[in-house]
Amino acid sequence: MSEAKKVSRRKTLAKWLKENILRLGPTFIKIGQQFSTRVDILAQEYIDQLSELQDQVPPFPSENVVSILEEEFGSPLDDIFDRFDLEPIAAASLGQVHRAQLKGQEVVVKVQRPGLKDLFDIDLKNLRVIAEYLQKIDPKSDGAKRDWVAIYDECANVLYQEIDYIKEASNAELFAKNFKNLDYVKVPTIYWDYTTTQVLTMEYVPGIKINRIQALDQLGVDRKRLGRYAVESYLEQILSHGFFHADPHPGNIAVDDVNGGRLIFYDFGMMGSISSDIREGLLEVFYGVYEKDPDKLLQAMIQMGVLVPTGDMTAVRRTAQFFLNSFEKRLAEQKRERELAKTELGFKKPLSKEEKIAKRKQRLAAIGEDLLSIAADQPFRFPATFTFVVRAFSVLDGIGKGLDPRFDISEISKPYAMELLRFREAGVELIIRDLRKRWDRQARAFSNLFRQADRVEKLAEVIQRLEQGDLKLRVRALESERAFQRVAAVQKTVGSAVAAGSLVNLATVLYLSSIRVPAMIAYGLCAFFGFQVLFGILKVRSLDQRERLITGTA
């Protein structure tokens, strides 16, 4: 198939996908909106079609708009606005936006789609059933793992809040208050006298969608700086305010030429909140990395609910220490490369793809045992609160790569984090933390004076229980576990091969004896066991590859 035919086929499939998403309704439209920003995942033909879901959803009839406005405000439309454009300037999954004039001021009026709550009730009820089913069958849904129902509850709660325009107006005002001192962020002003649960009236602030690259270039703004502003604004929302925009697709972020390029945020219906414990935990993660302290890093992850303490945290701690050391070495290498690049002799040939893969395998092989131990205990989990944080940064990463091919969200975040660290280190925080450390050391030393006798007594009790057989020690040998796992896979494969061979012989004898129906059944069972043999061989090969990766052998 030629490249032209491939492009044509992708266009056809992308159009079909967009049309079916529109038919499925608001819930699936929002999923399509998220993927419309992933230029690094989807082909451009899909991006072009899914981008239309952001603000080109088919509008609902103007008669319904007039009916809703007059019912909400209890007056004819002409008595409410000086001018009202029945043709919407944008239509989204939950509502549509009309330009109007109110007491001489240019405004936009957002009107909710009729019957939206009933549709949400149906879609979310079905998704609740799916979440409960996944909770039962997903092996990672027990204990400190993945909580599908909690993630659903978080999503449902946010979606129901999104169709309450009074709540959205309050969110917009709080968001504007948080960014009142940053001149590169603009939030439209809310007109409260003309806002209800289904109608939202706000200041008209025009701009260019942040993913319209050619239009941004014509406007003369710095696209690289825009990408940095977007990331920094989200770090500010999450770390400083604990209140963030949870739906940052390009339809909700625009740019104007004020102050050399200003971010305009729209649609504050879907917002996320982060508790003070999680925010403090995120800051402590920065401190743990900055101070190269694995204990502090793990304690911060426990505080955030990302890590659940298990009986033995040794493997987790060693892995954290390994990655901290690797991170430090990587920073040193980058600094050395930048210094060498300034000289004529500083040219360094970049690593090939094969060399990068080999280097990555070496790093993983160095901590293979610990990684296997962690995977078995599964102490990590994904709190529902983080669902929208990860989604927001995923969307921002897609937007940033569209603005600047060399966009690196981690590199942009690093200076912000370091500035935050320096700010806190320079203030009272340093004194408080130093006093707290001193107090903890003194308290531990004082308490140890009285606990030594208890510890000796407890140790003697444990030894006595071991001698009596009341207490058993379980020693875990990961190498033996992997060997037994491979032996079990080989035995199952051999058994399936024997069964397949016996069945094919039986089927052949029956077929030659004109006993057709039992012969066909035997052939079918032979095919089944033949597939089991194939899967077994693949599993053994996978186990062997993992063993080579862990041991570092070729």
Strands 208-209 and 243-245: unpaired
Could you give the angle at the alpha carbon of 286 between the alpha carbons of 281 and 292, nearest 5°? 115
8 Å CB contact between 204 and 107: yes
3-class DSSP state for residue 184? coil
The first and second tokens of residue 394, run together, are 């995923």
The alpha carbon dihedral of 448, 449, 451, 455 has a sign of positive
In DSSP terms, which residues pair with 111 in a beta bridge? 96, 199
**Helix intervals (H) in 367-477:** 368-377, 386-403, 409-426, 428-468
In DSSP terms, which residues pair with 458 in a beta bridge? none
Buried b (16+ CB within 10 A) or exposed e, 320-354: bbbebeeeeeeeeeeeeeeeeeeeeeeeeeeeeee
**In the structure, how many helices (H) and strands (E) does the chain have?**
21, 11
The alpha carbon dihedral of 527, 533, 539, 545 has a sign of negative
**Dist. CA 470–CA 463, nearest whole Å:** 10
Is 247 labeled as catalytic in the residue annotation? yes
| Residue 435: Cβ-neighbour burial (10 angstroms; 0-12, 13-18, 19+) | exposed
Query: Which residues, other chains included, contact 365 with Cβ-Cβ below 8 Å and sequence gap of 6+?
Result: 549, 550, 551, 552
HEC string for 277-321: HHHHHHHHHHHHHHHCCHHHHHHHHHHHCCECCCCCCHHHHHHHH
Q: What backbone phi and psi angles, to 5 degrees, belong to 309?
A: -60, 130
Alpha-carbon distances of 54 from 91, 303, 462, rounded to whole Å: 8, 37, 64
Catalytic residue, from 79, 123, 138, 247: name it: 247
Which H or E run contains 103? Answer: none
**Residues designated catalytic:** 247
